[in-house]
Amino acid sequence: MEVAEPAGIYVYSDTELDRAEGEAIESLKAHCQQPIPDPDEWLEEEVRRNILLTSIDFMLNWARRSSLWPAICFPACCAFELIAANASRFDLSRFGMEILRASPRQADLMITAGTLTWKMAPQVKRIYDQMAEPKWVIAMGACGISGGIFRSSYNVVPGYNRIVPVDVYVPGCPPRPEALIYGIRMLHHKISKGRAIEG
Amino acid sequence: MILALSGKEVAAQLEQQFPGSIIESSENNLLAKSESLLDIAEYLKSSPELDFDYLNYITAVDYYDYFEVVYQFTSLKHNHSLVLKTRCYDRENPTVPSIVRLYQGADFQEREIYDLMGISFNGHPNLKRIFLWEGFHGHPLRKDYL
Amino acid sequence: MILNPSLNLEHYWQTLPPDWPGGFWWHWLVFTVIIIAFVLTLVMGYIWIERRGMARMQARLGPNRAGPFGLLQPVADAIKVLIKEDIIPANADKIVHWLAPVVAFVPVLMIFAVVPFQDGALLADLNIGILYVVAISSVSTVGIFMAGWGSNSKYSLLGAMRNVAAVVSYEIPLMLSVISVVLIAGSLSMNQIVMAQNIPFILLQPLGFLLFFIAGCAEINRSPFDLMEADSELVAGFHTEYSGMKFALFYLVEYAEALAISAIITTLFLGGWRGPVLPPWLWFVLKVIIVFFVMVWTRTTLPRVRIDQLMALAWKFLFPLALINLIITGIQVLAWPEALPGVMILVNIAIMVILVLLWSRFFKLGWGRVEV
Amino acid sequence: MAIKTEPFVLNIGPVHPSTHGVFRMRATLDGEVIIDMEPIFGYLHRGIEKLAEERTYTGVIPLTDRLDYIASMSNNLAYVLAVEKLVGIPVPERAEYLRVIMAELQRIAAYLIAVGAFLNECGAFFTPFLYMFREREKIIDLFEMVSGQRLLYNYMRVGGVSQDIPEEFLPALDKFVREMPGFIDEYDRLLAENEILLARAKGVGILTKEMAINCSVSGPVLRASGVKWDIRKADPYSIYDRFEFEIPTGEVGDCYDRYRVRIEEMRQSLRIIEQAMEQIPSGTVKSEVPYLIRPPAGEAYAHIETPKGELGFYLVSDNSIAPYRCHIRAPSLMNLTVLREMVIGWKIQDAIIIFGSIDITVGEVDR
């Protein structure tokens, strides 16, 4: 049997872009060996606020927590529990979360559903950097918290908190949608304690 | 049921066609010289009574002394299969001829073996890392990978 | 005028045409406020209807935590988006990037200047009302293209390109089907068109309504023609790089355009504010909401067409049908100016059915690779 | 004046709404038309093959769950079949039936996602997807009954399954099997004859028979190209030779055929489940297997038909408690070989739905 040799089939693009990507990964890997501390200072803070500021804060926080739009960052298995949470039975849209913004610039919340590899890490960091303030991160699943079952692998980042600061950890492999919703409720509590105006 | 062809029978055929190309053969598989791999694959694919048109998988195993590259072919028409193996003893720069020109399905698998096992495939049009990035040190599936 | 405080406003009021009620400035002020309030309120209502309606159609509940029945959900969204960080990409063309949402938003708001909320209740009863609408509504495309170009992102640029292509093609069937309405009404003024609708024009112009609805949906990029922000392909289309308040403006534009198109459809085809029992403005709002609901319905049901099929639809289906519709309407208006409406309705509906069936038999959208 | 144009490179992914995870296509575009495309993956390369080498034979089963995470029952099955082939462990009759039921349920669940995602990528704004997810939840409930997990079941064991089904499982399954054909018809009606869907999917991304075979494509993609090749029939593993079912094939090999084949295979899977439910015997579900399996030195390859195609495990044993080498023949990876040739010359929108119709899971591509 003669193998037809289609023209142009085996022409691939140059490796320059790949090399640049590799360098980015290596430099990120060198910089992100320690976990980033969780942004939890608000827990200790007790501040005196007057009534006006409190009610403004209340309104802003209410708005923020009522319309958390998740960014799309679903590397692996947990994504399907996240989609299940979004689907009819668990229905995240009750909390106004059904708008999955594909563009990170319009999203508020990154739900990191799945294992993070070093090759993926620069992109996740980039998504996080592209999101507009205020922004939050939920680390979903064992892989997102610590690398989980794949922690000992050569290409797996042991937890998203090496790359981005994480607000809420939802354990499980994968967490059930109920667990995810509980995590989101916890994030709501956290948001409602935030202060928009220093005082 | 897919009939697993006896390596010995096929080896006899191949020995006629390409003398000295088969190192050893058993009931399950046959071991070919890596230099004559391309010829054998071409014969397996074009011979009407064998007609191996479907490549199941390619994989490589690290046995410390040598690398073994394993091919399994199936004939969708005759419903039989064959396991073909070849070895390369060079640990520094192991090379095996590429069969991409015959079986395009080998494209990503050969790249995968190149990436994870460090065996380069002669004649592959686009042999570069597939899963790991350019500049990754070492080949993880080798047994001596740290 | 404003700069000169000593100017005698009374003098101006007297020189105004007599059909401006209550004097020029008061009229201007009141209706500007009304229009802005109307657009903002109804856009929020639209967002709520779309999210709740879509959720119901997809066997979900939809937002129900913010306020009763989730009614405050759009308010929460609005507040949140407005106080979010506003990012301008480093490589963006800053001025164009900054100006784009404004250029896109203002024309949409300006459309409502000629939309009558009830008899005579409109900002400017232009005698070329509908022409003004068609002219001004195309301007927001410039804003969208500026957004695509200024963002310096490939997805944005592709989205903007698609939008321009769609709008340029769909203007023609849109305009042609409007002309048929104008022929019957005998006026370009929106208010006069409403006054002429003793029976809604949707019955006299069923084909015209269909063409206008499809072309209008395509023009404002509602699904199945939402190519410019196609979620599954172009991430977020032309506003991929926008965040915060500017994104809010684009979000507003999207729904305000839908509102504008449904207001125009209401005015041209559904009898505008006319209706029994209820007050006229309520009729208007009700009809607008019904039209929008149909748009939500199509969005949840239909897949998206491809860009060349979008063009094919405009030039192979809508354009010839609109021409034929125009000719038939012209003949009808000329030959039987006093014809019984009942007969006209039946004849026109029959013509529509025959034409649509014939055309869908002659032309397919095209399977496989179709180049236009 | 001639307008000067030049092609430009567009990165689709790795994070993109319709790349089924983290997959990247580096496309060179001429306007909207793709003139060159290079698939780039590895963004989810977790080194499962390496991790398997440091675990016991039973310990690898949870890893296989996470390969094709929307069809983990099938992955489990392929792996345990490979180990059983290596060691020569018999499987009790009841366990065989349970395995078949689970695998076929899993096939339906995975096809629901595949078809739903495909329609979603055509632009049908989540509606078919959410309806199909509704039915998938019912299957997941059944799985939860037997394994206690919703996604990664870890249910199959070497020499059987981990536990017997609870009492309420068979009535629930019976109810599901009776209801499901109606739902499949409903989904089919939802969009099957829709003019826009036909225009988008018919004749788009044609994969010829020769090309499909040469590129080692398997599963629904291969069958949609007109090759009647299903490992359940061609090389019956487990007890598939006892059931009657058809192999649906397509004619042209376009996206629409792949969609039809998947819908049709869901019906066939229901038929298999019905037959298995009638025939299932009572008895034990796990044969006596030592905790630490120590197979004789040798090698084995077992392959099954998963929703994605031919999933095979090539195991090499050196008579220790851990596999010496565990190679996974991932159907998603093989099916991607054809992607490049299929999308060149098409528009971006087509590329997205061609990609969607191949239906990959990145966890399996990258492993």
Instruction: Decide if A34 touches D, using CB distance below 8 A.
Output: no
Both tokens of D67, joined, read 């390969």
CA distance B86 to chain A (A): 23
Instruction: Decide if D227 touches B, using CB distance below 8 A.
Output: yes
Residues 64-93 of A with CB under 8 A from D: 72-77, 79-81, 83-84, 87-89
Measured between beta carbons, which residues in chain D are less than 8 angstroms from residue C237? none
Question: Tens digits of per-residue pLDDT, C123-143?
Answer: 777 778 788 888 888 888 888
Question: Tens digits of per-residue pLDDT, B34-79?
Answer: 888 888 888 888 888 788 888 888 888 888 888 888 888 888 888 8
Q: SS in 3 state form for C140-192?
A: HHHHHHHHHHHCCCHHHHHHHHHHHHHHHHHHHHHHHHHHHHHHHHCCCCHHH
Question: Tens digits of per-residue pLDDT, C293-329?
Answer: 888 888 888 888 888 888 888 888 888 888 888 888 8
CA distance C76 to chain A (A): 4
Q: How far is CA D203 from the centre of its chain?
A: 24
The partner residue sitting opposite A102, judged by closest CB among C73, C76, C235, is C235
Q: Where are the beta strands (DSSP E) in chain A?
A: 70-71, 109-113, 136-140, 168-170
**Interface size, chain A vs chain D, as Cβ–Cβ contacts under 8 Å:** 110
Task: Give residue C4's pLDDT.
Answer: 45
Question: Do D237 and D74 form a contact (C-beta atoms < 8 A)?
Answer: no
Task: Give residue C358's pLDDT.
Answer: 82
What single DSSP character describes residue C205? -
What is the rounded average pLDDT of the residues C361-367? 70
Instruction: Decide if B141 touches D, using CB distance below 8 A.
Output: yes
φ and ψ at A136, to 5 degrees? -135, 160
Least confident of A155-159, C51-55, C66-70, D159-163: C66-70
Does the residue C42 lie in any domain?
Answer: no
What single DSSP character describes residue C316? I
Q: How big is chain A by its Cα radius of gyration, in Å?
A: 20
Interface mutation vs chain D, best among C223, C306, C307, C361, most D CBs within 10 Å: C306
> Which residue of chain D is at minimal alpha-carbon distance from A3?
D214
CA distance B63 to chain D (A): 9
Residues 6+ apart with CB under 8 A from A150: A115, A143, A156, D46, D47, D48, D51, D66
Question: Do A191 and A157 form a contact (C-beta atoms < 8 A)?
Answer: no
pLDDT-derived band at C228 (thresholds 50, 70, 90) equals low
Pairwise CA distance, residues C368 & C371, whole Å: 10
Measured between beta carbons, which residues in chain D are less than 8 angstroms from residue A12? 38
Measured between beta carbons, which residues in chain B are less than 8 angstroms from residue D235? 1-2
Task: Give residue A3's pLDDT.
Answer: 41
Residues 6+ apart with CB under 8 A from B101: A3, A5, B123
Task: Give residue C359's pLDDT.
Answer: 79
- Which of B34, B22, B23 is closest to B95 using CA atoms? B34
Which residues sit opposite B61 in a β-bridge? Answer: B68
Segments of chain D with pLDDT less than 50:
none
Domain positions in chain A are: 69-199
CA distance D211 to chain B (A): 9
Q: Where are the alpha helices (DSSP H) in chain C?
A: 9-15, 24-57, 73-82, 94-111, 129-137, 139-150, 154-185, 190-196, 201-204, 206-219, 231-234, 244-269, 280-301, 307-312, 319-335, 341-362
Residues 6+ apart with CB under 8 A from A149: A142, A143, A173, D62, D63, D66
Q: How far is CA D275 from the centre of its chain?
A: 22
Instruction: Decide if A100 touches D, using CB distance below 8 A.
Output: yes
Pairwise CA distance, residues B93 & C358, whole Å: 69
Pairwise CA distance, residues D293 & D308, whole Å: 29
Q: Average pLDDT, whole number, for chain B?
A: 83
Question: Tens digits of per-residue pLDDT, A13-63?
Answer: 556 777 777 888 888 887 777 778 777 655 555 555 555 667 777 788 888
Q: How far is CA C261 from the centre of its chain?
A: 2
Third-level CATH fold of A69-199: Rossmann fold (3.40.50)
**pLDDT of C230 strictly over 70:** no
Instruction: Decide if D333 touches C, using CB distance below 8 A.
Output: no
What are the CB-based long-range contacts (under 8 Å, 24+) for A32-41? A32/A121, A32/A157, A32/A162, A32/A163, A33/A162, A34/A162, A35/A159, A35/A161, A35/A162, A36/A161, A36/A162, A36/A163, A36/A164, A36/A165, A36/A166, A37/A165, A38/A161, A38/A165, A38/A166, A38/A167, A39/A165, A39/A167
Question: DSSP string spanning C291-313?
Answer: HHHHHHHHHHHPPPPPHHHHHHI
Instruction: Decide if A39 touches C, using CB distance below 8 A.
Output: no
Note down the domain range covering C244: 85-362
Q: Which chains touch B (3 or more CB pairs under 8 A)?
A: A, D
CA distance C232 to chain A (A): 9
Task: Give residue C6's pLDDT.
Answer: 44
Contact between A60 and C83 using a beta-carbon 8 Å cutoff: yes
Question: Tens digits of per-residue pLDDT, C8-18?
Answer: 445 554 554 54
At D194, which amino acid appears? N
User: What pairing do the DSSP bridges indicate for beta strands B54-62 and B67-75?
Assistant: antiparallel
Chains A and B touch, using 3 or more CB pairs below 8 Å: yes
Task: Give residue C129's pLDDT.
Answer: 78
CA distance B4 to chain A (A): 23
pLDDT-derived band at A9 (thresholds 50, 70, 90) equals very low
pLDDT-derived band at C19 (thresholds 50, 70, 90) equals low
**pLDDT of A73 strictly over 70:** yes
Sign of the four-CA dihedral D149, D151, D154, D156: positive
Instruction: Decide if D305 touches B, using CB distance below 8 A.
Output: no
Task: Give residue C370's pLDDT.
Answer: 60
Q: How big is chain D by its Cα radius of gyration, in Å?
A: 21
> Which residue of chain A is at minimal alpha-carbon distance from D42?
A119
φ and ψ at C282, to 5 degrees? -70, -40
Instruction: Decide if D358 touches B, using CB distance below 8 A.
Output: no
Question: Do D143 and D110 form a contact (C-beta atoms < 8 A)?
Answer: no
User: What pairing do the DSSP bridges indicate for beta strands D309-317 and D325-329?
Assistant: antiparallel
Question: Do D305 and D265 form a contact (C-beta atoms < 8 A)?
Answer: no
At C9, which amino acid appears? L
Measured between beta carbons, which residues in chain C are less than 8 angstroms from residue D17? 231-232, 235
Domain positions in chain B are: 3-122
What is the rounded average pLDDT of the residues C349-355? 82
Contact between B107 and D337 using a beta-carbon 8 Å cutoff: yes
Q: Where are the alpha helices (DSSP H) in A132-175?
A: 141-146
Question: Do C245 and C81 form a contact (C-beta atoms < 8 A)?
Answer: yes
CA distance B131 to chain D (A): 4
Question: DSSP string spanning C211-224?
Answer: HHHHHHHHHTT-TT
Neighbour tally for C11: CB within 10 Å: 8
Pairwise CA distance, residues C218 & C315, whole Å: 13
**pLDDT of C367 strictly over 70:** no
**Domain count for chain C:** 1
Pairwise CA distance, residues C243 & D163, whole Å: 52
CA distance D204 to chain B (A): 22
Residues 278-307 of C with CB under 8 A from D: 299-307
> Which residue of chain A is at minimal alpha-carbon distance from B135?
A22
- Which of D312, D314, D319 is closest to D294 using CA atoms? D319
Contact between A67 and C73 using a beta-carbon 8 Å cutoff: yes
Residues 25-54 of B with CB under 8 A from A: 45-46, 53
User: What pairing do the DSSP bridges indicate for beta strands B54-62 and B3-4?
Assistant: unpaired
Burial of B33 (0-12, 13-18, 19+ CB in 10 A): middle
Task: Give residue C7's pLDDT.
Answer: 44
Domains of chain D from N-terminus onward:
8-366 (1.10.645.10)
The partner residue sitting opposite A26, judged by closest CB among B100, B135, B140, is B135
Q: How many CA atoms lie within 13 A of C231 on its CB side?
A: 21
CA distance C183 to chain D (A): 33
- CATH number for the region B3-122 comes to 3.30.460.80
Chains C and B touch, using 3 or more CB pairs below 8 Å: no
pTM greater than 0.90 = no
Residues 6+ apart with CB under 8 A from D90: D159, D287
What single DSSP character describes residue C318? I
C204 against D172, higher pLDDT: D172
Question: Do C52 and C63 form a contact (C-beta atoms < 8 A)?
Answer: yes
Q: Which chains touch A (3 or more CB pairs under 8 A)?
A: B, C, D
pLDDT-derived band at C174 (thresholds 50, 70, 90) equals confident
Measured between beta carbons, which residues in chain D are less than 8 angstroms from residue A102? 16-17
Contact between D125 and C59 using a beta-carbon 8 Å cutoff: no
The residue behind tokens 């329609």 is D119
Which residues sit opposite D300 in a β-bridge? Answer: D315
Task: Give residue A135's pLDDT.
Answer: 85
Instruction: Decide if D349 touches C, using CB distance below 8 A.
Output: yes
**pLDDT of C5 strictly over 50:** no
- Which of C319, C313, C325, C308 is closest to C363 using CA atoms? C313
**pLDDT of C193 strictly over 60:** yes
Task: Give residue A191's pLDDT.
Answer: 82
**pLDDT of C337 strictly over 50:** yes
Task: Give residue C13's pLDDT.
Answer: 47
Pairwise CA distance, residues C115 & C107, whole Å: 13
Sign of the four-CA dihedral C119, C123, C129, C133: negative
Question: Do C251 and C237 form a contact (C-beta atoms < 8 A)?
Answer: no
Pairwise CA distance, residues D355 & D332, whole Å: 11
Task: Give residue C171's pLDDT.
Answer: 85
> Which residue of chain A is at minimal alpha-carbon distance from D28?
A13
Task: Give residue A10's pLDDT.
Answer: 45
The partner residue sitting opposite C63, judged by closest CB among A59, A96, A106, is A96
Pairwise CA distance, residues A173 & A81, whole Å: 10
Interface mutation vs chain D, best among A5, A19, A80, most D CBs within 10 Å: A80
Instruction: Decide if B133 touches A, using CB distance below 8 A.
Output: yes
Pairwise CA distance, residues D15 & C190, whole Å: 48
